[in-house]
């Protein structure tokens, strides 16, 4: 897997407003399906991602706190919407408006996760990035396991008493929530 050797280039990749990135994972976050849009935008081949952890596309400028929020939310059987900066296999980066939800079997057990990603609005990315930068700064200013605690505290401060969903929908153009 190339992820550990990927050099962030700062090149921003975009994808079409009518395109949809889709991936599916098992309950541990290992990729079981990736559509052609994901493969093209992420610059990975199917062989490079199937059977690998989804965090292969995690950009180092994304706060770990956001991924903890994601896992806490979907593990609790709730969907999560978020703006996420991803890292492509060639070092480019791309922002997405992600929707992540659990997949269930006929007994109601979680058998994996499904994520759809759309092209985000530039204004929403700007607003999300400002929050993420401050949360990431709090994480990086603190060592070890305490970094995540510092990040969660910074995120709560950023939200100012609002929920994640309230924040997300407040920066999402066209939202009626």
Domain CATH code at residue 51: 3.30.450.20
Describe the crossing of helices 146-159 and 64-75 by its angle, rounded to 10 degrees: 80
In the chain, the number of structural domains is: 1
Strands 110-118 and 93-104: antiparallel
Residue 105 lies in a domain: yes
Residue 158 lies in a domain: no
Which pLDDT does position 5 carry in this prediction? 79
Q: pLDDT truncated to tens, each residue of the chain (177 aa)?
A: 444 679 999 999 999 999 999 999 999 999 999 999 999 999 999 999 999 999 999 999 999 999 999 999 999 999 999 999 999 999 999 999 999 999 999 999 999 999 999 999 999 999 999 999 999 999 999 989 899 999 999 999 999 999 999 999 999 988 665
Structure-token match 């200013």, residue found: 141
Residue 56, domain extent = 3-120
Closest CA to 66 of 158, 141, 2: 158
Residue 171 lies in a domain: no
Residue 76 lies in a domain: yes
Distance CA 43, CA 57 (A): 10
Which pLDDT does position 177 carry in this prediction? 59
Residue 138 lies in a domain: no
DSSP element (H, E) containing 156 = helix 146-159
Reported pTM = 0.93
Residue 56 lies in a domain: yes
Which pLDDT does position 1 carry in this prediction? 46
Residue 64 lies in a domain: yes
Residue 157 lies in a domain: no
Q: CA 47 from chain center: how many Å?
A: 21
Q: CA 6 from chain center: how many Å?
A: 18
């Amino acid at each position: 897997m190339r992820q550990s050797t990927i050099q962030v280039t700062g090149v921003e990749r975009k994808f079409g407003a009518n395109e949809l990135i889709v991936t599916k994972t098992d309950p541990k976050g290992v990729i079981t399906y990736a559509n052609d849009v994901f493969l093209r935008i992420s610059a990975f081949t199917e062989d490079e991602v199937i059977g690998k952890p989804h965090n292969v596309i995690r950009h180092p400028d994304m706060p770990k706190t956001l991924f903890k929020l994601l896992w806490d939310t979907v593990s609790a059987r709730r969907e999560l919407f978020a703006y996420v900066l991803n890292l492509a296999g060639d070092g480019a980066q791309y922002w997405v408006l992600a929707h992540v939800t659990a997949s269930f079997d006929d007994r109601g057990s979680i058998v994996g996760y499904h994520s759809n990603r759309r092209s985000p609005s530039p204004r929403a990315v700007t607003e999300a990035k400002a929050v993420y930068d401050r949360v990431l700064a709090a994480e990086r200013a603190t060592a070890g396991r305490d970094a995540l605690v510092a990040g969660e505290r910074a995120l709560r401060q950023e939200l100012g008493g609002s929920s994640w969903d309230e924040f997300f929908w407040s920066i999402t153009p066209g939202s009626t929530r």
